[in-house]
Amino acid sequence: MVDPSDSNPSSREPLMHSENVGTHTADETRIIREAARQVASGKPLDEQELDNIVAKIPRLSANEVRSGQLTSANLATVAGIVQSTASGVKPINFSAATPAQIQAYLALQKLSGHGQHGSNGQRMGTGGASEGDSSARFDKMGSDGSGSYWSTRAGMEETRSLAIAMGLLWAADNQALLRLGPGAIQALADVHLRQESYEHLTKDVEFKAKDVVTLAKFAKEKKVDANELSSAFSDVGKGLSRGEKVDLRNNTVPYMAHPDDPTAQQKANEHFDNLQKKHPNEKPPHRKLA
């Protein structure tokens, strides 16, 4: 975070690094180093390693300095450097890499891949998924993640690494999402779901983590903005009782999970009609779910 005692970060004496990168202010250096430590997830990084990471990151934008957070692109670069430092594996460009390439990279570092585990576990697969659907390149998540490999500490750490690599830092410490596995993280990344959208859905409409993932996949398939759809649900949910929120979720999530099922769609539409009659001033997200 930016030091509140420093009213003019740009005026502080810059720290010199490699010539092709330029210089970084003390605040920029601190932000990059803190991001590296967070990405490392407890793995020690010495001062020289931290300096090397800083030297490979371009000067930060004014917004990054104000917020104390790196952009997704810079965070992905830091993640690649940190992980290669820890394993000796040549870093890849996470921002441009496909999920399959990221999977292979994590597997080389023994963060993912092909080891032995319990019969109930599932790891990232390498075949059988459509290349046209990036989230399908990973194994299907369980209904709630329980009893699967992804709910174990090792599995959650793999998923956390993927979340960081894809720039979803807000999801990296969300255990409910991590238990759903890498497919859930990929689904959120596919539609650029924001943290506030996730929070609106879980707080205003009583969605569970798996329901948010279902919404993200629905939005991608229907080519609608996932964040706008989340806001539409949130706007309605704020005017409902907790029981009504649960009913809204129970009558709409099945349709989003199976958008080609006419019965599920009819059930959702009937619920919207009843909700509109009961709360005429509310505007259920009919059009967004069309």
Phi, psi of 131 (to 5 degrees): -70, -15
Overall pTM > 0.85: no
CB 22 within 8 Å of CB 58: yes
Confidence of residue 110 (pLDDT cuts 50, 70, 90): very low
Confidence of residue 56 (pLDDT cuts 50, 70, 90): confident
User: pLDDT tens digits, residue range 228-260?
Assistant: 999 988 888 887 889 999 999 999 999 999 999
d(CA 198, CA 210): 11
83 SS3 class: helix
User: pLDDT tens digits, residue range 137-160?
Assistant: 444 444 444 447 888 888 888 888
Q: Higher-confidence residue: 94 or 29?
A: 29
Which contacts (CB < 8 Å, 24+ apart) does range 84-93 have? 85/45, 85/49, 85/52, 85/53, 86/40, 86/43
